[in-house]
């Protein structure tokens, strides 16, 4: 019996080529686009986002060229609850979230997986640049970096479970972006030269604070900028406007550059300091997910990264409980930010990761 594969098609070139390769591999292929929000939610349209309403027609066009069934699933309620609400709550609590990770965790690899099983699908397929392999010794499924290091997306996939890894396919695992575009052009896809998505899809203008205010209808009060000793330096325009490491856009006339070091939500203060004040070695994470094993039972030497574009650096992970850990970098790292993800590697293999909860210990 031919195995069935449901391809998440965002309208971009990556997922389009993933659909083509899935069909070429002999799977009974179905395309799906998830409707996650509407124009009113996003406030505007942008070619730099993904999953907008205009992208649906691009995905539909590719599915037509491939001759595969195509459907649109309405996940706006789930996306609002699991991604947008979490995004807003994080900013209100002084953290800086990564909604792409939440979208993968709660929508693509949970809700879509559920729908795929209801439809009798054997696999979910996406256009991520990553690899999945099964360890022959332990039988566990492992997530590994893609062949193209510039496009590797394992950082945003660290939360995948064993069941999900066993039923997901990443056809672009061994390809470069230029190869992907070449295939799209050869197949006559209208999105072969479409720009990659760069912004958060529901805030395509990059004004996250503006989006939060529009979406919630709330006013976020101004407060004090203070230095690390508590001396008032000026007034900020609302705590949701700032993130750790920020220097530009503070609106202060200072004798030398100062940076956001932390946000005190209870006092409604934004604490500024010198660049060297942003460097630390130790932080804590929660919500840990591990891939080569079920739980961390002892200290583990890894390479860790605390933002998507960062190069992984040597660190030690120390278990603190069921899903918590302390991480100690060998050398200080800059602007370790609560709400972001810390992801751990052993060479090309993803060991796991978690959400940063404390960055000053």
Binding residues for ATP: 8-15, 34, 127
Judge whether 201 counts as a catalytic residue. Answer: yes
Task: Please tell me the distance from the alpha carbon of residue 242 to that of residue 96, in angstroms, as a whole number.
Answer: 9
Q: Is 75 helix (H, G, I), strand (E, B) or coil?
A: coil
Task: Please tell me the distance from the alpha carbon of residue 344 to that of residue 202, in angstroms, as a whole number.
Answer: 28
- Local structure of residue 247 (DSSP, 8 states): -
Sign of CA pseudo-dihedral 17, 116, 101, 201? positive
| Dihedral over alpha carbons 42, 7, 196, 99 (to 10 degrees) | 50
Residue recorded with tokens 């603190």? 320
Task: Please tell me the distance from the alpha carbon of residue 208 to that of residue 202, in angstroms, as a whole number.
Answer: 9
Among 201, 261, 288, 338, which one carries the catalytic annotation? 201
Helix (H) or strand (E) holding 345, with range, is strand 341-346
| H-only helix segments in the chain | 13-24, 39-42, 53-66, 76-79, 85-92, 99-102, 112-118, 162-166, 177-186, 208-216
SS3 content of the chain, % helix, strand, coil (to 5): 30, 30, 40
Q: 199-233: b or e for each residue (b if 16 or more CB lie within 10 Å)?
A: ebbbbbeeebbebbbebeeeebeebbbbbeeeeeb
Task: Please tell me the distance from the alpha carbon of residue 47 to that of residue 241, in angstroms, as a whole number.
Answer: 24
- Local structure of residue 15 (DSSP, 8 states): H
Sign of CA pseudo-dihedral 168, 171, 174, 179? negative
Q: Is 53 helix (H, G, I), strand (E, B) or coil?
A: helix
Which residues line the annotated binding site? Answer: 8-15, 34, 127
Q: Which residues pair with 316 in a beta bridge?
A: 301, 328
Among 50, 51, 100, 103, which one carries the catalytic annotation? 103
Judge whether 45 counts as a catalytic residue. Answer: no
Given strand 168-169, what is the order of strands in its sheet?
A: 70-74, 28-35, 4-8, 123-125, 168-169
Catalytic residues: 103, 201
């Amino acid at each position: 019996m031919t195995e069935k594969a449901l391809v998440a098609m965002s309208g971009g070139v990556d997922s389009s080529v993933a659909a083509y390769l899935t069909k070429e591999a002999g799977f009974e292929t179905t395309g799906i686009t998830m409707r996650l929000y509407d124009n009113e939610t996003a406030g505007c349209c942008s070619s730099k986002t993904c999953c907008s309403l205009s992208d649906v027609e691009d995905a539909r066009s590719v599915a037509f060229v491939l001759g595969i069934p195509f459907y649109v699933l309405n996940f706006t309620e789930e996306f609002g609850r699991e991604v947008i609400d979490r995004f807003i709550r994080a900013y209100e609590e002084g953290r800086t979230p990564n909604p792409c990770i939440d979208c993968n965790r709660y929508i693509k690899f949970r809700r879509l997986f559920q729908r795929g099983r209801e439809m009798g699908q054997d696999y979910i397929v996406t256009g991520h640049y990553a690899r999945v392999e099964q360890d022959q010794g332990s039988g566990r499924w492992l997530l590994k970096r893609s062949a193209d290091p510039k496009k590797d997306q394992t950082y945003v996939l660290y939360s995948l479970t064993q069941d999900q890894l066993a039923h997901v396919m990443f056809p672009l695992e061994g390809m470069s972006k230029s190869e992907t575009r070449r295939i799209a052009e050869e197949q006559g896809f209208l999105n072969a030269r479409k720009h990659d998505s760069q912004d958060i899809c529901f805030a395509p203008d990059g004004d996250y604070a503006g989006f939060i205010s529009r979406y919630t209808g709330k006013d976020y009060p101004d407060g004090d900028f203070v230095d690390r000793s508590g001396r008032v330096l000026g007034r900020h325009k609302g705590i949701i406007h700032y993130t750790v490491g920020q220097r530009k856009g503070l609106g202060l006339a200072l004798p030398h550059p100062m940076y956001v070091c932390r946000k005190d939500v209870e006092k409604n203060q934004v604490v500024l300091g010198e660049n060297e004040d942003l460097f630390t070695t130790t932080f804590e994470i929660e919500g840990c997910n591990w891939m080569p094993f079920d739980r961390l039972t002892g200290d583990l030497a890894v390479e860790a990264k605390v933002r998507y574009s960062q190069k992984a650096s040597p660190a030690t992970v120390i278990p603190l409980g069921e899903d918590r850990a302390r991480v100690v970098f060998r050398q200080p790292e800059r602007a370790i930010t609560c709400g972001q993800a810390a992801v751990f590697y052993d060479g090309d293999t993803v060991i796991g990761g978690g959400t940063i909860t404390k960055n000053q210990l």
